[in-house]
Structure 1
Amino acid sequence: MTTVLAIALSLVFLPLGLAKIAAAPVMRQAAAHLGMSTGLYRVVGAMEVTGVAGLLMGLTWTPLGVAAATGLALLMAAAAVVHLRHGDPPVRAVPAAVLALLAVTHAAAAIG
C-alpha cells in the first residue's frame, strides 16, 4: 500500500511542482489569485518536488518517506487554509485537503 500511495502522490506532486518552478502561466495566475509572488510560488513548487524525491527515496528508507509525506501533508493543509482565507469556496480547498489526507495515510501506513 505504501508503494502505491508514494507513486500516486508523486504522480500528482511532480508535475504540479515543476509547473510552479517553471512559472507556467496557469501557475502564475494561481499565485496572483492567492496573493503570492511568483518567487514564493516557485518555493512551494520546490518543496513539492523535494517531497516527491523524499517519497520515492522513502521506499528504501522508511523514515525519509514518512518525513516527506508529513511535510507534504502540512503543505497541503496550509494550501487549503490559504484558499479559504482568500475567499475561495470550500470546494476549491478540497483537492489540497484530500492530498493532505492521502499523505497522512501514507505516513501512517509506512510507520506500520
Structure 2
Amino acid sequence: MYIAYVVVAVLFALMLAGSGRGKLVREQRVTDTITGLGVPLSWFVPLAVLEFAAALGLVAGVFYRPLGIAAGIGAVLYFVGAVIAHLRAKDNKGVVAPGVMMLFSAAPVVLGFLSL
C-alpha cells in the first residue's frame, strides 16, 4: 500500500499545485468560474495557499504518513466546501470537477491509513 500511497499522493499533489497556480495567476477560466460562484478575488491567494499546503503535506506524507493523512483530510474538506459553493450557486454542471477532486482526495487518506 505504500507504493500506491506514493503514486496517488504525488499525482494529487501535482493536481493541487496546478489548481493553486490557476488561482494565483488568475487564469481566465478559473477566475470566471470562481467569481461566478460569488467568491471575491481577494480569496484567490488564500485558496491557492491552502491547495499548495495540501500538496506539500501529501508529499511530506511519503516520509511521515500522519502528515499526509492530515493533508488529505484537509483537501477533502476544501473540496467539500467547493462542492457546497457550486450547489449554493445552483451550478450543477460545475459541481462535477470539485466533486471528482473531493473523491480523489479521499484516496491518499485511505491509502495512508492502510500503509501505516
Give the TM-score, by structure 2 length.
0.88
The structure with higher relative contact order (CA 8 Å, sep 6+) is 2
C-alpha distance in structure 2 between counterparts of 1:93 and 1:25, whole Å: 18
> Distance between the aligned counterparts of 1:88 and 1:26, measured in 2?
15
User: Which region of structure 1 is more displaced relative to structure 2, 55-64 or 96-105?
Assistant: 96-105
Runs of 4+ in 1 over 3 A off after TM superposition: none
Looking at structure 2, the residues matched to 100 and 39 of structure 1 have their Cα atoms a distance apart, in angstroms, of 23
The offset of 1:96, in angstroms, is 1.1
Deviation readout 1:48-94 (Å, 9 max, x if unpaired): 011101011111000110010100011011101111110112x3212
1:30, CA displacement in angstroms?
Answer: 2.2
- Inter-partner Cα distance in structure 2 for 1:95 and 1:45: 16
- Specify the alignment match of 1:105 in structure 2: 107
Q: Which residue number corresponds to residue 67 of structure 1? A: 70
Residue type matched to 1:71 in 2?
G
CA RMSD of aligned residues (A): 1.3
SS of residue matched to 2:94:
helix
Query: Which sits farther off after the overlay, 47-56 or 6-15?
Result: 6-15
Unaligned runs of 5+ in 2: none
Is residue 22–residue 42 contact of structure 1 (8 Å, CA) maintained in 2?
Answer: no
1:36 maps to 2:39: yes
Q: What is the CA-CA distance between 1:27 and the residue it aligns to?
A: 2.7
The correspondence for 1:83, drawn from 74, 82, 86, is 86
Counterpart residue type for residue 18 of structure 2 = P
Aligned pair count reads 111
In the TM superposition, 1:15-26 aligns within 5 A as 15-26=18-29
Structure 2 counterpart SS, 1:27: helix
Instruction: State the alpha-carbon separation in 2 of the partners of residues 99 and 30 from structure 1.
Output: 16
5+ residue gaps, structure 1, are none
Q: Percent identity?
A: 23
Compute the displacement of 1:36 (Å): 1.1
> In structure 2, what residue type is equivalent to 1:109?
L
Residues 21 and 43, structure 1, Cα contact 8 Å, conserved in 2 = no
The Cα shift of 1:12 comes to 1.1
Residue matched to 1:8: 11
